[in-house]
Structure 1
Amino acid sequence: MADGTRSAGSTPSTTAPSTSALGGLRVADFSRVLAGPYATMMLADFGADVIKIESPDGDDTRGWRPPVDDAGESTYFGAVNRNKRSVVCDLGTEGGLATARRLAETADIVVENFRPGVMERFGLDEAAVRAVNPRLVYCSITGFGRDAGAALPGYDLLVQAVGGLMSITGSPDGEPSKVGVALVDVLTGLNAFSGILLALRQREATGRGSRVDVDLLGSLLAALTNQASSTLATGRSPGRLGNAHPSIAPYELFRAADRDLVVAVGNDRQFAAFAKALGRPELAADVRFATNESRVAHRTDLREALEPLLAGSPAAEWVAALTAERVPAGLVNDVAEAFAFAQTLGLDPVVTTGDPASGRVSRQPATPIHLDTAPAVHRTPPPLLGAHDARLADETPEPRERTDRDDAR
């Protein structure tokens, strides 16, 4: 489409094609807010039948508004719940609990992110469900694990703080800062998605399901990568450098004549090309700047030399000139500009799904994983609360087949 939107069409199918990578798999999704729903949306995008099991009040994020979409629904909820079906199960009632158990016992995958102990209280824990459904892949997402940290609330901001991310984010002279999106939840959701796929692969070999445990703190610590490895190797925690890099220079934000841009020089060849584009090729021969190590050691002098040069022309001109010299550089876009930029690169970054029955339309970021033989299919908009109660009540899923291998265990 002209605006870079892939459309689901005027009559989208609510079921995935049989050729979908995860077609035929059913997910009982007990998760709420972000990490779990992100993981299950990825499963749904690739064909799994994800049944979102909600309380009568619905997922908390249904009430996180504004902003809202054209239908008045929370855009936060919409961000991670497309391609799913919603059923209301009041676990405090006999009927609601029976429905939830039936869905779990007939699913290929259960995903939950309740506080440890909650699923046990309702007889929906791994042991109880696996006794009926030995092929089940059971994924639990926690904030701080299932042991000593079980009672701690798993909110992204809290984990960014205690997990060290805020200590390395922000200006050296300012306060610690969180990242501008709930990044730890997203990383944890991706880890859950990966773990579930690993467990499904193992099930193919053994005939039996596995338990997948992921937690927000562990996901963040692993994602600290070079900052974590330097701390473990030296015993010294890094500090905040603003937009600068602890090991590379120049690799940061600069102000041009009209707006900000970033320059990400990763090696000495790129720095020589950068200096040439600036009209100051001699900078690359300066003993202070000749190698990356020396540039890092003299980063203040380097910045003082670069700032007035970059301030002399508009940012877009610098980006064009530097890109021509194969020096990584880019404008500091806002979110709308970022989608527009992705479209100019042919990335087709937006998908539109519609519900003909209600007329609802939802525009969301496209799935970033591309399979040539079994691509993601964006079928339906995020479901209204309990939209599929009636249909699911009429469905009687077949019990998961037991195998000889199961019976032998």
Structure 2
Amino acid sequence: MTTAAPSGGGPLRGVRVIELGQYISGPYAAKLLADLGAEVIKVESPEGDPMRRWEGHGAMSPQFAAYNRSKSGVVLDLKTTAGLEALLALAETADVLIDNFRPGVSSRLGFGPEALRARNPRLISCAITGFGPSGPYASRPAYDTVISAVGGMYSQIVPADTLRPLGPAFSDLLSGMSAAQAVLAAMHARESSGVGEHIEVSMVGALMDFLTEGASTYLEAGHVAGPDSRPRRAQAYACSGSDGLAFVIHMSVPEKFWTGLLAVLERPDLADDPRFSSRESRVANYDALDAELKTITATKPREHWLRLLDQHDIPHGPLNSVADLFDDPQIAHMGLVGSVVAPDGTEVRVPLPSTRFERSGGPALTHAPVLGADNAQLVGATLAAAKEQSE
């Protein structure tokens, strides 16, 4: 089911955000604010955000569109006097400025925190970097694979015998979320102080914050978590039916889920097996129980098991692919898919924001902008005046 995007403006209606972002972390942070109703002006170089041409696409890859919807688009050459002046003039009208350049780049180009504060004391500036503003790694190029390795994420999801980067861009997305959260906190603080502040968000720090259980457990007890640590403790399993369709079971701590599962499997004898007779023994013998479950569930189709698991109130669910996700009846019921009109006039299905606000609603979503789409409206006069002064 396709649902119209919720309207009403959103809780951040009237907030102006300038984004100087490339690839994922900065654009995603600004996209999250746009989903809450903020006006986001994406400032790009004349060449544009490299994500536009991702995987051989022209000027509008689906990856770029995903992270840059509901934004205006401006092109400025920040290495020129006119381009810098246009940016600083925009900053005078803004509440927030987000960038994800390497440390020192914004100051070198003339729009570091001090320069911005001089033009707009209320402005909140947020810099997203790989390893923070200083230190032995600070100047390194910061891409997700590197940060996910250094920040401990891959040690939690990549088995030792695989050694291959896996999954989505964890550090990009988590640092974008951290940046959006920090911006909202700074906006709240500004209500009483009357002035903005500068925020530093590091991708590696966002990962460590996300991995708080593993990090804290090591610091307190010396336990080094690995890929199966959490599933083992949580008693979480993945199985397949006879039709090859996968599903998951999460028994957690309550004993009722284990006894219910035995009824589903029609294997009451497993309760007397010393390997599985208590939660502690099931944790210790996780691999053996995993093998038993896989053998049993392979005898009947997935739907058979999902029906029985539901009847016995055992935490479970189908292991959906992204394609399966949009056919899932719960996702359809929640209205999490909408549509926007692309620059070429075609209608494109998009995932909708997951949050719902009773009073303020949400913004009407729009497609990502073509390169420089809003130059004339937003910076045309400033650029023309700056060029005249320089001639």
* Length-normalised TM-score, structure 2: 0.90
Identify the residue that residue 71 of structure 2 maps to in structure 1: 84
| Cα pair 1:361 1:381 within 8 Å, conserved | no
Q: Which stretch shows the higher mean deviation, 162-171 or 111-120?
A: 162-171
Kindly tell me the number of residue pairs found equivalent between the two proteins.
Answer: 379
- Within 5 A, what are the aligned runs for 1:244-259? 245-249=231-235, 251-259=236-244
- 1:347 and 2:334 correspond: yes
CA distance in 1, matches of 2:114, 2:24: 25
| Cα pair 2:37 2:362 within 8 Å, conserved | yes
Q: Which runs of 5+ in 1 are unaligned?
A: 9-15, 397-409
CA distance in 2, matches of 1:386, 1:190: 26
Q: Residues 136 and 7 from structure 1, CA distance in 2 versus in 1: closer, same or farther, beyond 3 angstroms?
A: closer
Tell me which amino acid in the other structure corresponds to 1:226.
E
- Percent of residue pairs identical: 36
Q: How many angstroms does 1:5 deviate by?
A: 3.5
Q: Which stretch shows the higher mean deviation, 378-387 or 277-286?
A: 277-286
Identify the residue that residue 388 of structure 2 maps to in structure 1: none
Identify the residue that residue 13 of structure 1 maps to in structure 2: none
Tell me which amino acid in the other structure corresponds to 1:21.
P
Identify the residue that residue 152 of structure 1 maps to in structure 2: 140
Q: Which stretch shows the higher mean deviation, 316-325 or 196-205?
A: 316-325
Identify the residue that residue 166 of structure 1 maps to in structure 2: 154
| Cα pair 2:10 2:36 within 8 Å, conserved | yes
What is the CA deviation profile of residues 78-132 of structure 1, one whole-angstrom value per residue up to 9, with x for unaligned ones?
Answer: 0111110011001122221211121123211010111111111121011111012
| Cα pair 2:130 2:203 within 8 Å, conserved | yes
Tell me which amino acid in the other structure corresponds to 1:152.
R
Q: Residues 64 and 169 from structure 1, CA distance in 2 versus in 1: closer, same or farther, beyond 3 angstroms?
A: same
Identify the residue that residue 178 of structure 1 maps to in structure 2: 165
Q: 1:64 aligns with which of 42, 46, 54?
A: 54
Secondary structure in 2 aligned to 1:296?
A: helix
Identify the residue that residue 198 of structure 1 maps to in structure 2: 185
CA distance in 2, matches of 1:342, 1:4: 13
- Within 5 A, what are the aligned runs for 1:8-407? 19-66=9-56, 73-148=60-135, 149-172=137-160, 174-241=161-228, 245-249=231-235, 251-259=236-244, 260-267=246-253, 268-341=255-328, 346-354=333-341, 358-393=344-379
Aligned-residue RMSD, C-alpha: 2.2
Secondary structure in 2 aligned to 1:178?
A: coil
Q: How many angstroms does 1:75 deviate by?
A: 0.5
| Cα pair 1:35 1:185 within 8 Å, conserved | yes
Q: How many angstroms does 1:253 deviate by?
A: 1.4
| Cα pair 2:13 2:37 within 8 Å, conserved | yes
| Cα pair 2:5 2:365 within 8 Å, conserved | no
Q: Which runs of 5+ in 2 are unaligned?
A: 383-391
CA distance in 1, matches of 2:174, 2:293: 35
CA distance in 1, matches of 2:297, 2:204: 40
CA distance in 1, matches of 2:329, 2:60: 26
Secondary structure in 2 aligned to 1:274?
A: helix
Q: How many angstroms does 1:343 deviate by?
A: 5.0
Secondary structure in 2 aligned to 1:64?
A: helix
CA distance in 1, matches of 2:109, 2:360: 37
CA distance in 2, matches of 1:50, 1:152: 28
Secondary structure in 2 aligned to 1:382?
A: coil
| Cα pair 1:116 1:146 within 8 Å, conserved | yes
What is the CA deviation profile of residues 360-400 of structure 1, one whole-angstrom value per residue up to 9, with x for unaligned ones?
Answer: 4332211122211122223321000001111113578xxxx
Q: How many angstroms does 1:350 deviate by?
A: 1.5
CA distance in 1, matches of 2:74, 2:216: 44
| Structure with greater proportional helix content | 2
Identify the residue that residue 11 of structure 1 maps to in structure 2: none
